[in-house]
Each structure stands twice: as structure tokens, then as C-alpha cells.
Amino acid sequence: MGVDRERMRGRMMRLREMSWEESKKMWKIAGPAILTSVLQFSIGFVTVAFVGHLGYVELAAVAVVQNIVEGFAFGLLLGMGSALETLCGQAVGARQIHMLGIYLQRSWIITGFTALALTPIYVFTSPILKLLRQADEISEVAGRYCIWVIPQLFAYAVNFPLQKFFQSQTRVWVMAGIAAAALALHVLLNWVLVTKLGYGLGGAAIAGNISWWVVNLAQLVYLVSGYFPNAWTGFSLSAFRSLAAFVNLSLASAIMLCLELWYYTAVILLVGSLKTKPEIAVDAVSICMNLELWTLMVAIGFNAAVSVRVSNELGAGRPKVAEFSVVVAVSMSALFGILFTAAVLIARNHFPKLFTDKPEVIRETIKLGYLLAATIFLNSIQPVLHGVAIGAGWQSLVAFVNVGCYYLFGLPIGALLGYKFKLGVQGIWSGMLAGTLLQTIILMSITYRTNWQKEAFQAEERLQTWGGQSEPQRS
């Protein structure tokens, strides 16, 4: 018995040491990634806060643009950039650093053409929204605002590949500093243009355009300043090789993420089609979603960290370490989810006042407090599982899971509860929550049953297929 106790004690000590070491590696990436995500997301958060005091229609219009039009483009471009996360992370693990700059340029080619293809959606937002049965007044204002923010579309196309390039090499603190400076500038610009000069939505759009391009220009300066002598050696025609295979992975990544983000878009559309005061309903859901997305930035930080850790370890042929990284990341993110859930429940009668002073909107938002808290908890876990999928290259599989859970299960339930059973916004949100719960359970099951040794072998094959050995390393 004494020997067994000693062995058990020894195992527990080794487990604690391993957990501590993995936590340090995780936080080295997750800490600045969380900060960067929060700061960059807060650019839109600040816009909503300033616009919310202009009026019902203005707030609803910006909410529709951010959650439907920009959400569509944001999801597609971020998803395209996530292919870089898989390939760069595994290349770093396999010590093929010379491929990172080539991968970055391939991703820019793809995201640039994608942004160009998405531009007509921005131009014709107003008729598209009317076709989707959104209120005419909201559609008209949203259409004007959307044309003004087209420069942000191309800013996303440049930004997301750069982020993945930096994250794969754990160069994330500079990104956080750039995002902090851009956010401070954004607050100042909104105060001057929207509040002081009274330029309204036009001023808010100008502020967002400037802020996002300041982020890009600063990151590009960092890229070419000599801090990446092996990973970035300048532009190369090699970027145009193996584009077809890269497009395939980019599309799988984009579909996986878009199905996630468009789920929220579909919820906004369902809410906007309610018969009774749709502008009040859209405002309330917009406030909740902005708060929920703000807390989601922490989980996205762990998403980035676990993606890097899993891809690095699989690329290096260490599947057991990759598996352990998943356990640590999910546990830490879930802990934050519990804290945020408690905070929302405690402050549910007060947080709506940060966004609006309209009593009807405040009351409608308070009603969603409990559902919002439950959503925040689930969204502290499932984005981390998405990070595992990106690190391992499971994008296509997760896309199928998203279709089933969200579009064949969650949305029909939401529509049934919201329209048939007359539960309105609360019914629609309950359906969304049900789909998220099912998706989280399935992803946890997939992760638990994964053969990590096989994943490491597939990572090696992927690097060989997509140029890992085809490009000579430069001295």
C-alpha cells in the first residue's frame, strides 16, 4: 500500500509539473492573443457604444451591418486566413520556417480576391436586406453605412493572414500593442467625429476605416523590419505555386468558421422579421451579442493558443503533448467562462445601460440575461475545440458538424419557439443556445476519441503535399 501511495504521489507531482509547464506555454500565446482579440473587437464595440446614442434606427442599422454583412465577410476572410494557422503552425513544429513567408503571400492572394468578390454585397446591402424582409428604414440606413465601410473589408483581407503568421511564431505582444494604440485612436476619432462634430454614422465609418488601416500598416512595418529573417525574405513567385491545394484548405477553413458566424447572422435575420417592434428586438439582441462576443475574445485567445500548440506538436511528431495541450486549454478557458457567466448574471439589470438610454431596449435586453449567461459559458469551450480542429486540420469535419447542429437543429427550433409559440426574441435565442450545446457535445466527443498518433502522421504528409519540402531553405 505504501509503495502504491508513493507511485500515486509521484504521478500527481509529474501531472502538476506537466500542467504547469503546458500552462506557461499556453499563456505565452493566449495572454497577448486574448488582449489583441479584445482590443481589435473593441473597435466595433466602441462604434456601437457611440452610435447607440444617436437613435433606435442608427443602432439597429449598425447592428445589422456588423452582424450580417460584416459578419459574413469577416467570417469568410478570417476562415480563409485560418488555413495559414494549420500550415504555419505545423511548419514551425517541423522547423521549416522558410515556408512561412510563402504561405503568408499565398493567403494574401486568396483573401484579396475574396474581398474583391465580396464588394458588391457591400454596395447592394440595402436591397439585399429588404429582400431578406428587414425593415425598410433600417435597410436604407444600413445600406449607406455599409458602402462607407468598404475599406474595412480590404483591411480584414490583409490583417487575418498577418495575424496567423505572427501567432504561429508566438510573436503576439507587438500585435497587442498595435491593437491598443489603434483602439485608443478609435475612441478619440469617434468622440471627435460622432459626438463633437456631429457627423453621425458617416463619422463612425471614417473612424473605423482609419483605425483598421492603422493596425495593418503598423503590422506590415513590423513584418518587413528584419524581425523575421528566415520566415520573411520578401515577395516571391513561389507564392503562386500549389495555390489549388491551398485554396482547398482555405475554403474548408472558411466554411467551418462561416457556418459558426453566420449562425448569429441568421438569428439577427429571424429577430429582424418579428412583427412587433423589430427595431427594439434587433437593438436588444445586438447589445447581448456584442457583450457575448466581447467575452468570447478570451476563448478566441485560447483558440489561437491551442491551435498553435497542437499544430506545432503534431508538426514536430509529438502527439501525446498535443493531446495534453487540448486538456489544459479547455480547462483554463472553461474557468473563465464560469467567471464571465457569474458576472453577467450579477450585472444583468445594469449592463444594457452602457449601450442605450432607451427604456424599451433596456427592458428587452434584461429579459435575455439568463440565456446570454448560458451562451457565454458554452462559448468558453467550443471555440477552443475549434482551435484544436484548426491545429489538426479537421476543418471539413467540423463544417459538417456545424451544418447539422446549427442549421438543421438550432435555427428550426428557434424559429418554432419564436414564431409558432410566440416567444419572440427569447424563443429564437433559446434555439440558438440548443444548437450550440449540441455542437459542443459532439466536438468534445470527437476530440476525446481522436487518434493523435495518426494526426501527427497526417501533419507530416500535409507539409510534404503543400510545399514543405519543395522550397529550398534560404540561408
CB neighbours of 9 closer than 8 A, spacing ≥ 6?
none
Question: What's the confidence (pLDDT) of residue 473?
Answer: 37
pLDDT above 50: residue 474: no
Q: How confident is the model at residue 471 (pLDDT cuts 50, 70, 90)?
A: very low
Question: What's the confidence (pLDDT) of residue 307?
Answer: 85
pLDDT above 80: residue 174: yes
Q: How confident is the model at residue 468 (pLDDT cuts 50, 70, 90)?
A: very low
Q: Nearest-CA neighbor of 67 among 44, 51, 49?
A: 44
Q: How confident is the model at residue 455 (pLDDT cuts 50, 70, 90)?
A: confident
Query: What percent of the chain clears pLDDT 70, i.e. is strictly above it?
Result: 96
Question: What's the confidence (pLDDT) of residue 132?
Answer: 76
Position 102, amino acid: I
224 vs 201: CA distance, rounded Å:
35
Question: What's the confidence (pLDDT) of residue 101?
Answer: 85
Cα 362 to Cα 89, 125, 195, 357, 368, distances in angstroms: 44, 28, 22, 7, 10
Q: At 423, is the secondary structure helix, strand, or coil? A: coil
99 vs 239: CA distance, rounded Å:
10
Q: What is the pLDDT of residues 31-64, one digit of tens each?
A: 888 888 778 778 887 887 788 777 777 777 887 8
Q: What is the pLDDT of residues 434-448, one digit of tens each?
A: 999 999 999 999 998
Cα 217 to Cα 82, 162, 174, distances in angstroms: 21, 11, 13
pLDDT above 60: residue 470: no
Tell me the average pLDDT of the chain. 83
Mean pLDDT across the stretch 402-431?
91
397, exposed or middle or buried, with CB in 10 Å at 0-12, 13-18, 19+? Answer: middle
**pTM of the model as a whole:** 0.75
Question: What's the confidence (pLDDT) of residue 45?
Answer: 76
Q: What is the pLDDT of residues 211-245, one digit of tens each?
A: 999 999 999 999 988 888 888 887 877 777 767 76
Mean pLDDT across the stretch 173-177?
87
pLDDT above 80: residue 131: yes
Q: How confident is the model at residue 472 (pLDDT cuts 50, 70, 90)?
A: very low
Q: What is the pLDDT of residues 384-413, one digit of tens each?
A: 998 888 778 787 888 889 889 999 999 999
Q: Which of residues 27 and 249 earns the better pLDDT score?
A: 27
Question: What's the confidence (pLDDT) of residue 1?
Answer: 56
pLDDT above 90: residue 98: no
344 vs 357: CA distance, rounded Å:
19
236 vs 168: CA distance, rounded Å:
20
317 vs 178: CA distance, rounded Å:
34
Question: What's the confidence (pLDDT) of residue 2?
Answer: 59
